[in-house]
């Protein structure tokens, strides 16, 4: 049984359907790059699309509010843990560099940002910049929290997943998305503590939430809700 299906869609661009063995209902969330769904096992694509149809108008309204802005030299990202700007330079392709002022992407001075192909290339460069920063920042933060709460892990991997902030395998490998660089520091901490809790409790049962509540001062559900409603700048 497939755990992930990607369907092209004229209005959302793409619809990403993930199967989760613990899901009991279909959950839907719009993001700048498409519509994301989590569905119970054995959910047929035809049925899932019917459900989307029932809510399509409302989902499209939400999607239009968070559509990705067009990137140009005025674009920047300024968060607590990540800064990025674009500058023209004497380069032939989009070049990512770390500077004292944060990450910079140097672009050919004659870059035509109205081109969809250029938009795709510059977005790819931004992801590279986020991933480079995340690889330097997140493992240290994870280690700090692991030592503080006494929950060891085996190793950490940084990816560029948009549909999942983090995950933890049965072998205690923790995966973290570089998109965490775009969220407030307290939500970044929450995701890390969430995954560390999974090193002891692999499911989301009562014991998991009790453990996570202990580590977040009783704010686990509040932080989960805040993260679910948070929209990144990119």
Among 28, 9, 126, 132, which Cα is nearest to 69's? Answer: 126
User: Would you put residue 12 in left (φ > 0), alpha (ψ -120 to 50) or beta?
Assistant: alpha
**Orientation of helix 220-228 relative to helix 206-215, angle to 10°:** 90
pLDDT (0 to 100) of residue 181: 98
Residue 84 pLDDT > 70: yes
What's the average model confidence in pLDDT over 63-71? 80
> Under CATH, to which class is 136-228 assigned?
alpha beta
What's the average model confidence in pLDDT over 154-162? 95
pLDDT (0 to 100) of residue 233: 75
Beta bridge pairs of residue 213: none
pLDDT per position as a tens digit, 113-149: 999 899 999 999 999 999 999 999 999 999 999 999 9
Residue 79 pLDDT > 70: yes
Among 103, 100, 212, 217, which Cα is nearest to 166's? Answer: 212
pLDDT (0 to 100) of residue 234: 84
Helix (H, G, I), strand (E, B) or coil at 118: helix
Distance linking the first and last C-alpha atoms of the chain: 32
pLDDT per position as a tens digit, 14-56: 999 999 998 999 999 998 888 999 999 999 999 999 999 999 9
pLDDT (0 to 100) of residue 64: 80
Residue 65 pLDDT > 90: no
For residue 131, the tally of other CB atoms under 10 A from its CB is 18
What phi and psi values does residue 167 have, to the nearest 5 degrees?
-160, 165
pLDDT per position as a tens digit, 95-112: 999 999 999 999 999 999
Name the maximum alpha-carbon separation found in the chain: 57
pLDDT (0 to 100) of residue 177: 98
Q: Which residue has the tokens 């977005």?
A: 123
pLDDT (0 to 100) of residue 69: 77
For residue 222, the tally of other CB atoms under 10 A from its CB is 12
pLDDT per position as a tens digit, 171-228: 999 999 999 999 999 999 999 999 999 999 999 999 999 999 999 999 999 999 999 8
Domain residue spans of the chain: 4-65, 76-132, 136-228
pLDDT (0 to 100) of residue 2: 55
The DSSP symbol for 166 reads E
Beta bridge pairs of residue 77: 84
């Amino acid at each position: 049984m497939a755990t992930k299906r990607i369907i092209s869609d004229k209005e959302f661009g793409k619809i990403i359907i993930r199967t989760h063995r613990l899901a009991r209902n279909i959950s839907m969330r719009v993001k700048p790059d498409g519509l994301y769904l989590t569905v119970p096992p054995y959910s047929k694509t035809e049925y899932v699309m019917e459900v989307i149809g029932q809510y399509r108008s409302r989902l499209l309204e939400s999607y239009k509010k968070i559509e990705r802005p067009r990137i140009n030299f005025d674009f920047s990202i300024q968060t607590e843990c990540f800064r990025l700007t674009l500058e023209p330079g004497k380069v032939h392709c989009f070049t990512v560099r770390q500077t004292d002022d944060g990450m910079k992407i140097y672009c050919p001075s004659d870059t035509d940002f109205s081109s969809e192909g250029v938009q795709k290339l510059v977005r790819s460069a931004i992801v590279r910049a986020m991933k480079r920063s995340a690889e330097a920042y997140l493992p240290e933060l994870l280690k700090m929290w692991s030592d503080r709460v006494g929950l060891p892990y085996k190793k950490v991997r940084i990816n560029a997943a948009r549909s999942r902030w983090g995950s933890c395998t049965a072998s205690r490998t923790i995966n973290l998305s570089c998109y965490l660089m775009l969220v407030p520091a307290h939500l970044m901490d929450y995701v890390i503590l969430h995954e560390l809790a999974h090193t002891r409790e692999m499911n989301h049962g009562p014991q998991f939430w009790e453990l996570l509540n202990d580590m977040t001062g009783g704010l686990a559900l509040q932080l989960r809700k805040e993260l679910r409603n948070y929209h990144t700048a990119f």
